[in-house]
Amino acid sequence: MIYYLILSVLLAGSAFAATTRRAVNAAGALFYAVQAAFAVWILTGGRFGSASGGFFTYDALGTVFFVLLAVVSLFVFIHSEVYFRDEDIRLYRRYFSLLMLLTTAIAGVYFADNIAVTWIFLEATTLCSAGIIYHRRTAQALEATWKYVFVCSTGIATAYLGILLLCSAADGSLAYSSLAERVASGNPLYMKTAVLLVLCGYSCKMEIFPLYTIGVDANFAAPAPASALISTGLVNAGFIAIFRVYKVMASSEAFEWMRHVLILVGLLSLAIGAMFLRRTNNYKRFLSYSTVENMGIVAIGLGIGGIGVWAALFHVICHTFVKSSLMLQVAVMRHIFNGYRINRIGDYISINRVGAIGFIVGTVVLLAFPPSPLFVSELMILKQIIADGQWWIMAVVLLLLCIVIYSICSRIMRLCYQPNLDEVHDPKCEHWLSWSAMALLAAAMVLGVWQPELLRDVIDQIVTL
Amino acid sequence: MILSFVILFVVTLVYLSITERYRNYAVIVSLQGWILLAIALLRLHSVNWAELAFVLAETLLFKALIVPQILFAVIRRTKINRVIGSGSSQFRSLVMSLAALAASASITYYIADQSIDMIFFGVALYALLSGLILIVSRQRIFSHMVGFLVIENGVFLFSTAIGVEMPILINMAIMLDILMSILMLGVFLTRIDHTIHADDADSLTKVKD
């Protein structure tokens, strides 16, 4: 793992030092070759399930999400290359080196087997993301960057206090496995305080209540292709950080309490998502609120327990494909229109038919209509809620999902069919970009109708770990 | 001895809630750095050179010297001297700060765990709440930064109280946190004032729905 990190950082550094676009792209190609080789090495080199360097582990959770990260990051790189075709070389190389560093830092979070190492890599993702968000160097980008760095740092510092509490209650252990063994005998009130601090702090990365706002602002200000990585890979990093604490707490007396908190956080996130999906006038913020809503569903799944945990994991995996696809479609849309304003952009179906179909199909999948894989996960979560007899949660979730469905449908219909009031730059944009974004959507739809035995086994393994 | 330093740390937090001049904020942040240095040195597990180097870098170099100097530079450059609105806000802040102190003491009392140094936990919690109060109740960005620095100091104080298996890892994490605060101060010093000309959080309202 250490060699992987060093090699990835060196390649990002070489992209930063490059003087031509070709050299940056070559560094990028090498970087993704390293990611692919690393994934293959873990899966076929007998490293799967083993530890590395005392601080990392190639477990099922980290490996599955790393493969997803590598795929999404590669798509983001390719789309960014077209997106920044006319960009100044200094900004171009800085953006791509930060993209590679962000991918590396996220991978560090995925594989970390030590609660302090997870925290360190999460903090590193803040640094890399801040550079990407500030890419445009406008007043808006600066404001979003400032808010992102400030709120993330405050949140992460709060989470760190929680981590220290957890460690001190578990005789100074920092590794997840020994933490899990020792928290069982810990003071429940102490554990509850620690969990609350960690959950509150990491919510800024997972884009759930209470610190969800900065994720939305970050996606708004960052270049559209990078938003695809921020709203999937980085959100997944926050999810994994919380999920590992969730597994640690499973043997503690405070676990039941943590599950109740997760349900509350999930419902509030879902409510905020539903409310702001109707209010916002910007397609990127709109998709970001959809991330808040989906992560709310995931939190409810974790909180409800049983098959809800399996469903939550499956939901996160499929959401990665769907959301990255839609964010990349937004990047294609940005080539054509001046901005992302919902009340001005329209008639997309006749301007870019492929892109519009990508949006419509993406919407159907995002709204969890069959054959969407999100239908499978949401149905499983609802089944578990019914099995537990939590009817009030069921009622609130269904009501909020109805609002979400109405909001998303109305917005996407406006994009495709309302008269366009915005300036159109290049109606003959490169359709292959829309097609490539749809490839990610197709992958999600395949998972909707057929979940490979291997994936089922891996998720089972993660849930039972 | 350590207890006196911890009490002094609490006093700085209470004073932070009533002072309105930014120079005082910078002085308090510096003073907290010196207090943390003294506590960290007194609590060193053994004379380990790597740990000692980390402690000196984190507290003396960054918390007591560099960060306060940057704060003074920000004050000079932006010419902001005090929090917006004086008078009643002082009393309200003091009440909120004392309520936070009472809440921290109550939680510490109810937890009453033998395995943890409860005084450090209580003070760290109070620092966290004080920082959050400063961020939420004050309007200017400068106060928000000081709030964040206070939270960081509270976290550092608690980290000195716990014995972990790998203290070097904890120190690295703290160092990264300090790096973030310096980055933030740098952004404020070199970018925000140039681009937005803002000393007021109300000016940062372009990114919204």
Q: Tell me the per-residue pLDDT of B138-164, one tens digit each, with 9 for 90 and over.
A: 878 888 889 999 999 999 998 887 766
Contact B169 A117 (CB under 8 A): yes
Query: What confidence score (pLDDT) does residue B141 get?
Result: 83
In this predicted model, what pLDDT tens digit does every residue of B88-141 receive, in sequence order? Answer: 577 888 999 999 999 999 988 887 777 677 888 899 999 999 999 998 888 788
B134 has a chain A CB within 8 A of its CB: no
Q: Which of A135, A217, A400, A442 has the alpha carbon at shortest distance from A294?
A: A400
Q: Which of B196, B128, B104 has the alpha carbon at shortest distance from A144?
A: B196
Share of chain B above pLDDT 90, in %: 34
Count: domains in chain B: 1
Give, for A384, the enclosing helix (H) or strand (E).
helix A373-387
Question: CB A388: neighbour CB atoms within 10 A?
Answer: 14
CB B8 within 8 A of CB B157: no
Contact B169 A114 (CB under 8 A): yes
Judged against a pLDDT cut of 60, whether residue B86 lies above it is answered with no
Per-residue tokens: A356? 């519009």
Which of A146, A158, A185 is most worth mutating to test chain B (most B CB atoms within 10 A of its CB)? A146
Query: pLDDT band for position B165 (50/70/90)?
Result: low
Query: What confidence score (pLDDT) does residue B49 get?
Result: 81
In this predicted model, what pLDDT tens digit does every residue of A34-70 receive, in sequence order? Answer: 999 999 999 998 889 888 888 999 999 999 999 999 9
Query: What confidence score (pLDDT) does residue A46 get?
Result: 84
Query: What confidence score (pLDDT) does residue B84 get?
Result: 66
Specify the amino acid at residue B163.
Answer: G
In this complex, the residue of B128, B162, B209 whose CB is nearest that of residue A167 is B162
| DSSP track, A17-78 | H-SSHHHHHHHHHHHHHHHHHHHHHHHHTT-TT-EETTTEE--HHHHHHHHHHHHHHHHHHH
Helix residue ranges, H only, chain B: 2-18, 22-42, 49-55, 67-78, 88-111, 118-137, 141-161, 167-187, 193-195
Per-residue tokens: A426? 């290049």
Rg (CA), chain B: 17
In this complex, the residue of B116, B128, B172 whose CB is nearest that of residue A161 is B128
Judged against a pLDDT cut of 70, whether residue B197 lies above it is answered with no
Per-residue tokens: B206? 């372009």
Nearest chain A residue (CA) to B171: A116
CB B140 within 8 A of CB B80: yes
Contact B148 A143 (CB under 8 A): no
Contact A168 B206 (CB under 8 A): no
Q: Which residue has the tokens 């000393």?
A: B199
Query: What confidence score (pLDDT) does residue A74 get?
Result: 97
Between CA A186 and CA A195, with CA A190 as vertex, the angle to 5 degrees is 100
Q: How far is CA A60 from CA A47, A64, A453, A458, B112, in A?
A: 11, 6, 14, 6, 39
- For residues B11 and A244, what is the distance between their CA atoms, to the nearest angstrom? 38
Q: Measure A172 CA to nearest chain B CA, in Å.
A: 4
Query: What confidence score (pLDDT) does residue B127 get?
Result: 95
- For residues A323 and A288, what is the distance between their CA atoms, to the nearest angstrom? 9
Specify the amino acid at residue A431.
Answer: H
Strand partners, A112: A56
Does the residue B145 lie in any domain?
Answer: yes
Q: Which of B99, B108, B115, B89 has the alpha carbon at shortest distance from B6?
A: B108
Nearest chain B residue (CA) to A171: B164
Query: What confidence score (pLDDT) does residue B196 get?
Result: 66
In this predicted model, what pLDDT tens digit does every residue of A394-417 receive, in sequence order? Answer: 999 999 999 999 999 999 999 999
Specify the amino acid at residue B165.
Answer: E
Query: What confidence score (pLDDT) does residue B8 get?
Result: 95
Nearest chain B residue (CA) to A152: B180
Which of B148, B180, B184 is most worth mutating to test chain A (most A CB atoms within 10 A of its CB)? B180
Nearest chain B residue (CA) to A221: B207
β-strands A51-52, A56-57 pairing: antiparallel
Does the residue B161 lie in any domain?
Answer: yes
Specify the amino acid at residue A394.
Answer: M
CB A163 within 8 A of CB A198: yes
Contacting residues for A158 by C-beta, under 8 A, at least 6 apart: A197, A200, A201, B128, B151
Contact A153 B184 (CB under 8 A): yes
The stretch B60-87 carries a mean pLDDT of: 82
B200 has a chain A CB within 8 A of its CB: no
pTM metric for this prediction: 0.94
Query: What confidence score (pLDDT) does residue A408 get?
Result: 94
Q: How far is CA B75 from CA A113, A139, A363, B81, in A?
A: 43, 22, 50, 7
| DSSP track, B40-71 | HHHT-SS--HHHHHHHIIIIIIIIIIIHHHHH
Q: Which of A287, A320, A290, A324 has the alpha carbon at shortest distance from A80?
A: A324
Residue segments in chain A with a per-residue pLDDT below the cut of 70? 427-429, 465
B164 has a chain A CB within 8 A of its CB: yes
- For residues A50 and A61, what is the distance between their CA atoms, to the nearest angstrom? 12
Does the residue B32 lie in any domain?
Answer: yes
Nearest chain B residue (CA) to A148: B184
Range of B134's domain?
2-197
The verdict on whether omega for the bond into residue A419 sits within 30 degrees of 0, i.e. cis, is no
Query: pLDDT band for position B58 (50/70/90)?
Result: confident
- A-contacting residues in B 6-45 (Cβ below 8 Å): none
| Positive or negative: CA dihedral A26, A30, A35, A37 | positive
In this complex, the residue of A154, A217, A285 whose CB is nearest that of residue B151 is A154
